[in-house]
Amino acid sequence: MPREPAGPGPIADPRLRILALVVLAFGFSALTDPRALALMVVLTVALAWRFGLPPAVLARRLRWPGVVVCGLVILLPLLSGETVLVRLGPLSVRAEGLEAALGIALRFLCIVAAAAALLAPVPLPRLVAALRALGLPALMADMALLMLRHIEELRQGLSRMRVAMRLRGAPTGFWSGQFRGIGWALASLLLRSHAQSERIYHAMILRGHGAAEAAPERFRASPGDWSALAVLVAAGTGLLVLEHML
Amino acid sequence: MTFRNVSLLAVEGLAVGHGGGPPVLSGIEFRIAPGERIGLVGPNGAGKTTLLLALTGVLPAAAGGIRLDGRLLALNGFTPEIALVFQQAHDQLFCPTVAEDVAFGARNVGLGGAALDRAVAAALQAVGIASLADRPIHHLSGGEQRLACLAGVLVMSPRILLLDEPSGALDLRNRRRLIELLRGLAQAMLIASHDLELVLELCPRVMLIDDGGIVADGPAAAVLGDAALMAAHGQEIPHSLTRHVGEGHRHPVAGPTARPGKAAVAGA
Amino acid sequence: MTFRNVSLLAVEGLAVGHGGGPPVLSGIEFRIAPGERIGLVGPNGAGKTTLLLALTGVLPAAAGGIRLDGRLLALNGFTPEIALVFQQAHDQLFCPTVAEDVAFGARNVGLGGAALDRAVAAALQAVGIASLADRPIHHLSGGEQRLACLAGVLVMSPRILLLDEPSGALDLRNRRRLIELLRGLAQAMLIASHDLELVLELCPRVMLIDDGGIVADGPAAAVLGDAALMAAHGQEIPHSLTRHVGEGHRHPVAGPTARPGKAAVAGA
Amino acid sequence: MHIPDGILPLSLTVAGLAAAAGVTAVSLWRIKARPDPRADVPRAALMTAVFFVASLVHIPVPPTSVHLMLSGLMGMLLGWFAMPAILIGLFFQAVMFGHGGLTTLGVNGVIFGLPALAAFGFLCLVRGQGGPACHAVTAFAAGAGAVMLAVALFTAVLLAGLPAHLDAATERRAILALALAHLPLAVVEGLVVAAVLGFLRRVSPELLRAA
Ligand SMILES: Nc1ncnc2c1ncn2[C@@H]1O[C@H](COP(=O)(O)OP(=O)(O)OP(=O)(O)O)[C@@H](O)[C@H]1O
Ligand SMILES: Nc1ncnc2c1ncn2[C@@H]1O[C@H](COP(=O)(O)OP(=O)(O)OP(=O)(O)O)[C@@H](O)[C@H]1O
Ligand SMILES: [Mg+2]
Ligand SMILES: [Mg+2]
């Protein structure tokens, strides 16, 4: 089957995208020195530009974890450290805490941006296949693919069931005993899925599942992919070395 | 006391879609009189289910509104007068046993104690599954599940029943039984179905929807018997309206399969 | 080269049930000739799905056996000659995209590389959904899903197709398209359906099952047109076999709803 | 309770990854010891999908709304499949919504996985004892307990990973505040889990034994 490239950017092979991301993300997470952090930001901006990361994609990924990070970034300067910079009434902003908070915010932003730039364009099933090729156990890869396949269907099933509850007057609000209703809807969905999974297993056997060791999907990395990976790995390790030398 | 020109439900210039997308239906305009039974037909993805959901007030209207007895329906309010029986029975049944599932709605319209028990028993009796009261929902056959759904909404004494594909997956015996049951109910009904024979048996009036609006609304025999209209919207005339002489099985309209190169895309 | 008395599949005294329970069907005995199309009708819970599953070898036989070309079928073995299209399309499609789902079976019959790609493309072409190859499975309409299921089994070049309720949830346009498609295939087929008009159009021979066995097996018009037999097993004669004169909608047999006090219990 | 990227030092994220990999290896080894490990994959995958979807449901808890965590329930229904299932779920949450993080996948896996396995062990211990009321109480305890255990692990990891300028009193206050903030979630989750298990026990007890 013809395969479209994994997305914009110099790496087409999703396996190499994952490897590059692992090196960069773990490398970034070890940086604390302000100069290393500055270089990290420069590298991330270059990466986002080169891989064509749309700002909307990044913004969507920042929403969830952003809450936790924002909480820390606001609290840390007030709670942590001795050197008081500014007093705001009963609160005082301290240097060590501020530094730690800035580090956290920058590392968080850069890792999320790098992950979004490298992985967001790769379709999820392809990502799972790439992980399988990198050594993810077959059992987990199969689970992941089957699960992906059913998420949308189940989401619609659950929302239809909740509409059905509301149409028959299920009260909303905290103290309405609706937990039992939610639990029952969830249990119904589980029962249904259990029966369905049996039929799916039959469908798989009927089309030869396990009859032959199906060949895992092949990936081909071009020389260009490898050189781009080498550049990114060198940049990531370079930052780590810099952090330790400074 | 039922006057045809007294409308129970009035839909006025309604436009409705899913989750902020473009409207699936627009400019929908019709009235339902008390006790009236209307068939709703149209191809896969025409918006039959969408229309029924909109009438219950679950989907926000992009334009227009729905009036019940002249009062405007509130979004996401609870309107026990309008009841929906879902296309898939298992989406509607979520309690462990039949009796509990029927009691769920009854409790929410304010019944309790002995009155609750009486109402549940009466509803089960009405659809003829009194003997299944204590059976777990998941051990029922398809036909029984659909009857349980019906009992679960009848117990709230609705004035309008919205039925989505009521005969789907039923065998002919269960289908016939369902038809007899529906024929015996006094409520107004809107029945969405691909089963045109069922529509023909139950509904004096039929609405055909396609291309985001109502394309025909009139007496059942006139709408369903109009070969040109039906063919234009991917339907076939029901067998019982064609003049068959038992000499085989010829279909009156070749239908859109005659157009070459068109895949079976409908719902998109 | 197709002789009616050369049997492709022979079922001999088969009894089969679910998970160690009592057999749902027993004493099943019939033969299918190459290229023959047989309809399988019967009420909800009669065991149509069970029989089709048994024929593929995923359900253990309590007695008897199934022979393909004279060889006995092994339990849970892989027999690409016999292909089943499930009642619920979404149970059968488990890969992320249409092309991958079709390739799944092809890979397991030993295809690979360019031959695999060619076989997948040919199968998609045959059912007319070549343009949907890279679409995710859950973005397909019901009709398209069923065509994808069919492509997924056709790619393994089966000699017998088992179809479970192929027209369920399809609108008339998609149903008509499916009928034309099936009519054009050379494989032998066993089609379980409540849609008697479809059975009548496709199958010269019909088997009626009920009460745990085959109660009738013969030419379609004879079996489906036998009012007494059909009524006794909760069926109705299809409209196209009754001599209608378009004067309304009367059903020829009152059916078992005439028996009082009998709930719509069928599947149990 | 997902820990995002960028907060924890390298040593902790790598240790978390190693721990998660270890627990997963043990789980896979136990699964492979079954007569037909493949037969359970569709079931485990589908149930995982149910949990993934259910964890996106908002429940109003004044003044905000919470998401179910459900790791206790996963442990009780999936058994040894819980850990691989949780890792897969976390990976997709991170990749699809940015919920959690990629470097913290291992740490988060431990935070959610250990309570799941603890609930599984708890269920094995008390299996089949007492009447319906007793069952409801154990189910509530398992559901709510799993949440509290996860909160404890979350807090411990966070405090270990933050810069060491915090004094002991601040740490104690932070732990207390976090525990109190999650109390409503624990109660909600306990109630939902009790309802799910009560339903399954009445309607389909074999599902509870399947794990
Ligand atoms: N939850 C949803 N989100 C977005 N779009 C939807 C949703 N449900 C339906 N649609 C779209 O709305 C349109 C109408 O769908 P609807 O289900 O109302 O059709 P229908 O007439 O009931 O079809 P069928 O005969 O197959 O039941 C379709 O194009 C469908 O793709
Ligand atoms: N997985 C199962 N476990 C136990 N019993 C089952 C199972 N599936 C079906 N049965 C029972 O076997 C009998 C035959 O069911 P089957 O699904 O074969 O009927 P059917 O003819 O296909 O019905 P329908 O027309 O509704 O599809 C029924 O009594 C049913 O309750
Ligand atoms: Mg619909
Ligand atoms: Mg069946």
Q: What are chain A's partners, defined as 3 or more CB pairs within 8 angstroms?
A: B, C, D
Same domain for B216 and B250? yes
Number of domains in chain D: 1
Average pLDDT score over chain D? 86
Chain A residues lying within 8 Å of C92, measured CB to CB: 200, 203
Over residues A104-111, the mean pLDDT reads: 92
Indicate the SS3 state at residue A162: helix
Is pLDDT of A213 > 80?
no
What pLDDT, on a 0 to 100 scale, did the predictor assign at position D64? 66
Does residue B217 sit within a domain? yes
On the question of pLDDT at D128 being above 60, the answer is yes
Closest C-alpha to ligand 1, atom 19: B45
Both C93 and C76 in a single domain? Answer: no
List the B61-68 sheet strands across, edge first.
Answer: B25-32, B9-16, B61-68, B71-72
CA distances from D126 to B11, D129, D138, D197, D205 (A): 57, 6, 8, 14, 15
Task: Please check whether residue D67 lies inside any domain of the structure.
Answer: yes
Q: What is the pLDDT of residues C36-70, one digit of tens each?
A: 999 999 988 899 999 999 999 888 889 999 999 98
Nearest to B62 by CA among B10, B9, B24: B24
Residue C221 lies in a domain: yes
In terms of pLDDT, which residue wins out, A82 or A188?
A188
- Domain containing D53: what range? 10-210
Q: State the average pLDDT over residues D148-168.
A: 81
Cβ pair D117, D83 in contact under 8 A = yes
Give yes or no: residues C153 and C197 share one domain.
no
Cβ–ligand 1 contact at B24 (below 6 Å) = yes
Q: What is the mean pLDDT of chain B?
A: 85
**CA C87 / ligand 2 centre spacing (Å):** 12
Task: Compute the average pLDDT of residues B202-222.
Answer: 95
Rounded Cα distance between A44 and A28, Å, is: 10
Helix spans in B193-233 (H)? 196-202, 220-224, 227-232
What ipTM goes with this model? Answer: 0.82
Answer whether residue D173 is part of any domain.
yes
CA-based nearest residue to C29, from C226, C223, C217, C193: C217
- Please name the residue of chain B whose CA is at the shortest distance from the CA of residue D200: B96
What pLDDT is recorded for position A6?
Answer: 53
Q: What is the pLDDT, as a whole number, of residue B263?
A: 34
**3-class SS letters over chain D:** CCCCCCCCCHHHHHHHHHHHHHHHHHHHHHHHCCCCHHHHHHHHHHHHHHHHHHCCCEEEECCEEEECCCHHHHHHHHHHHHHHHHHHHHHHHHHHHCCCCCCCHHHHHHHHHHHHHHHHHHHHHHCCCCCHHHHHHHHHHHHHHHHHHHHHHHHHHHHHHCCCCCCHHHHHHHHHHHHHHHHHHHHHHHHHHHHHHHHHHHHCHHHHHHC
Q: Kindly list the protein residues whose Cβ atom lies closer than 6 A to any atom of ligand 2.
A: B 142, 171; C 18-19, 24, 42, 44-50, 267-268
When pLDDT is cut at 50, 70 and 90, the band that residue C257 belongs to is: very low
Could you tell me if C94 and C147 lie in one domain? yes
B243 pLDDT higher than 70: no
The answer to whether C95 touches C144, Cβ cutoff 8 Å, is no
pLDDT of residue A153: 84
Instruction: Enumerate the residues of chain D whose CB falls inside 8 A of the CB of residue B137.
Output: 203
- C116-125, C241-250, D38-47: segment of lowest average pLDDT: C241-250
Q: Are residues C14 and C50 in the same domain?
A: yes
Ligand 2, atom 7: closest residue by C-alpha: C18
Q: What is the pLDDT of residue A57?
A: 87
Q: Are A233 and A118 in contact (CB under 8 A)?
A: no
Maximum Cα interatomic distance, chain A, rounded to a whole number of Å: 73
The domain of B235 spans: 1-81+160-166+189-268
In a domain, D200, yes or no: yes
D3 within a domain of the structure (yes/no): no
Would residue D4 count as lying in a domain?
no
Q: What pLDDT does residue C91 have?
A: 85
Query: Nearest C-alpha of chain B: how many angstroms from A198?
Result: 15
pLDDT at A80 over 80: no
Q: Identify the weakest region by mean pLDDT among B219-228, C100-109, C210-219.
A: C100-109
10 Å Cβ neighbour count for D161?
Answer: 18
Q: For residue C169, give the ligand 1 atom closest to its CA.
A: 26
Q: Residue B171 falls within a domain, yes or no?
A: no
- CB count, 10 Å around CB of C37? 22
Percentage of the residues of chain A whose pLDDT score is greater than 90: 23
Nearest CA to ligand 1 atom 4: B18
Kindly report, residue by residue over B69-119, the tens digit of the pLDDT.
988 888 878 888 999 999 888 889 989 999 999 999 998 888 888 999 999
Measured at the CA of D167, the angle between CA D166 and CA D171, to 5 degrees, comes to: 75
Q: How far apart are CA A167 and CA D154, in angstroms?
A: 39
At B259 the pLDDT is: 32
Neighbours of C165 (CB within 10 A): 22
Distance CA B79, CA B69 (A): 12
Decide: B53 in ligand 1 pocket, CB within 6 A.
Answer: no
Tokens 């924890």, residue located: D8
CB contact under 8 A, A167 and B83: yes
pLDDT cut 70: percent of chain A above it: 91
Is residue D143 pLDDT above 50, yes or no?
yes
Task: Provide the pLDDT for residue B218.
Answer: 94
Residue to test with chain B: of C139, C249, C253, most B Cβ within 10 A: C249
pLDDT at D161: 81
Average pLDDT over residues D126-143: 83
Chain Cα centroid distance, residue B12:
19
B15 and B60 fall within a common domain: yes
Sign of torsion over alpha carbons C140, C142, C143, C147: positive
Domain assignment present for D90: yes
Q: Is the pLDDT of residue B163 over 80?
A: yes
Flag whether B173 is in a domain: no
By percentage, how much of chain B surpasses pLDDT 90?
A: 54
Residue A76 burial by CB count (10 A; 0-12/13-18/19+): exposed, middle or buried?
Answer: buried
Structural domain total, chain C: 2
Same domain, B33 and B95: no
C7 and C75 assigned to the same domain: yes
Does B263 reside within a domain? yes
Give a yes or no: residue B184 inside a domain: no
pLDDT score, position D166: 67
Question: Which pLDDT belongs to residue C253?
Answer: 38
Do both B95 and B27 map to the same domain? Answer: no
* Sheet with strand B213-219: strands edge to edge: B82-85, B160-164, B188-192, B37-41, B205-210, B213-219
Task: Kindly report the nearest CA distance between residue B92 and chain A, in angstroms.
Answer: 5
Does D2 reside within a domain? no
Most confident of A42-56, A158-172, B131-145: A42-56
Which domain CATH number covers C49? 3.40.50.300
Residue B182, in any domain of the structure: no
Q: Ligand 2: distance of its center to the CA of A200 in Å?
A: 16
The reply to whether D100 falls in a domain is: yes
Q: D75: domain CATH number?
A: 1.10.1760.20
pLDDT of residue C263: 34
Selecting from D57, D61, D95 the residue whose C-beta is nearest the C-beta of A174 gives: D61
Contacts with C208 from chain B: Cβ below 8 Å: none
